[in-house]
């Protein structure tokens, strides 16, 4: 398909030129909402979810009109959502004004990974203090889904269960601000995970999944062990991702 018209671009002053149509990877929006702000928020949530859940890869171009059609919205709220994501550095604009998923370098990845490790560790420590038995049982169930998907080499199911596990840790730790910040980091890291889908997941070692250590620490109410387990989990993820970074 040829490139979109000038007003199909995110930036009104962008130069014209061909751009590939890469629609088709976003989940379909549902429900009816009124008002431009709510429509913009709806588009934002859908695109953000696609980034966080690794449905978009680095370099993927989001073409305005095909994307708006896919989401069942007019171009204006979708443009606003894309520009909001650009302001959050989850997307960038190319020379033609089209929104694109950034290609991350190792320096930026290292900074984000360090921030993520600190926050995940803090959330784990808080979960030791605040999590009740029912929440720990729920974490056990979610982790079982994560491990099962890992063993079956089901990348997307594993990532979905992994994200659910970490959200539950934050909620059990009564850490809504940590969760909100982490969700911003996950949104930027999600596309990198998509690059790993072409390779098999490495076997779990004899100690099992790092989540198992965290669950054990939660049951023993050992904050130091919980922090160590959370940092180990992040390191394992980083080792998997670093090999896919271009520079």
Q: Which domain holds residue 29?
A: 6-100
Final residue of a structural domain among 59, 85, 100: 100
Model pLDDT, residue 128: 98
Q: Indicate if 150 and 199 belong to the same structural domain.
A: yes
Q: Indicate if 54 and 74 belong to the same structural domain.
A: yes
Average pLDDT, the chain: 85
Average pLDDT for residues 158-187, to the nearest whole number? Answer: 96
| Of 25 and 121, more confident | 121
Q: How many domains does the chain have?
A: 2
CATH number, domain containing residue 165: 1.20.120.530
Q: Indicate if 228 and 136 belong to the same structural domain.
A: yes
Residue matched to tokens 């970074």: 245
Q: Indicate if 236 and 222 belong to the same structural domain.
A: yes
Per-residue pLDDT for 5 more than 50? no
Average pLDDT for residues 141-161, to the nearest whole number? Answer: 92
Final residue of a structural domain among 55, 85, 100: 100
Q: Indicate if 50 and 143 belong to the same structural domain.
A: no
Beta-carbon contacts of 38 under 8 Å, excluding residues fewer than 6 positions away, are none
Q: Indicate if 94 and 112 belong to the same structural domain.
A: no
Q: Indicate if 111 and 208 belong to the same structural domain.
A: yes
Q: Indicate if 92 and 169 belong to the same structural domain.
A: no
The whole-angstrom separation of Cα 96 and Cα 118 is: 37
25-50 confidence digits (pLDDT tens): 455 554 444 466 799 999 999 999 99
Q: Indicate if 175 and 57 belong to the same structural domain.
A: no
Model pLDDT, residue 126: 98
Q: Indicate if 75 and 140 belong to the same structural domain.
A: no
User: Starting from the edge strand earliest in sequence, which strands make up the sheet with 92-93, in order?
Assistant: 61-62, 99-100, 92-93
**Structure tokens that stand for 148 in this block:** 């099962």
Q: Indicate if 62 and 157 belong to the same structural domain.
A: no
Model pLDDT, residue 90: 95
Task: Grade residue 19 by pLDDT with cuts at 50, 70 and 90.
Answer: very low
Model pLDDT, residue 239: 81
Q: Indicate if 10 and 66 belong to the same structural domain.
A: yes
Does a structural domain hold residue 148?
Answer: yes
Q: Which of 158, 55, 61 is CA-nearest to residue 102? A: 61
Dihedral sign computed on CA atoms, order 76, 182, 186, 53: negative
Task: Grade residue 206 by pLDDT with cuts at 50, 70 and 90.
Answer: low
Asked whether the beta carbons of 234 and 117 are under 8 A apart, the reply is: yes
Percent of the chain having pLDDT more than 90?
65
The whole-angstrom separation of Cα 207 and Cα 10 is: 48
CATH number, domain containing residue 53: 1.10.10.10
Task: Grade residue 240 by pLDDT with cuts at 50, 70 and 90.
Answer: confident
Does a structural domain hold residue 1?
Answer: no
């Amino acid at each position: 398909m040829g490139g979109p018209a000038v007003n199909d671009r995110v930036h009104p002053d962008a130069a014209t030129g061909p751009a590939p149509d890469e629609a088709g990877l976003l989940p379909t929006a549902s429900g009816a909402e009124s008002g431009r702000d709510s429509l913009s928020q709806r588009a934002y949530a859908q695109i953000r979810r696609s980034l966080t859940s690794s449905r978009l890869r680095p370099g993927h171009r989001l073409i305005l009109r095909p994307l708006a059609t896919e989401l069942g919205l007019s171009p204006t709220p979708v443009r606003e959502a894309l520009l909001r994501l650009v302001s959050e550095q989850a997307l960038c604009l190319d020379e033609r004004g089209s929104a694109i998923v950034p290609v991350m370098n190792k320096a930026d990845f290292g900074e984000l990974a360090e921030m993520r490790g600190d926050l995940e560790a803090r959330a784990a420590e808080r979960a030791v203090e605040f999590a009740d038995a029912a929440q720990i049982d729920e974490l056990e169930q979610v982790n079982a889904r994560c491990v099962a998907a890992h063993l079956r080499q089901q990348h997307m199911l594993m990532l979905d269960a992994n994200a659910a596990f970490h959200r539950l840790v934050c909620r059990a730790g009564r850490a809504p601000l940590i969760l909100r910040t982490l969700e911003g980091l996950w949104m930027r890291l999600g596309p990198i995970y998509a690059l790993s889908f072409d390779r098999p997941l490495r076997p779990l070692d004899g100690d099992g999944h790092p989540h198992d250590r965290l669950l054990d620490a939660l049951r023993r109410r050992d904050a130091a062990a919980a922090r160590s387990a959370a940092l180990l989990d992040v390191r394992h993820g980083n080792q998997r991702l670093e090999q896919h970074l271009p520079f």
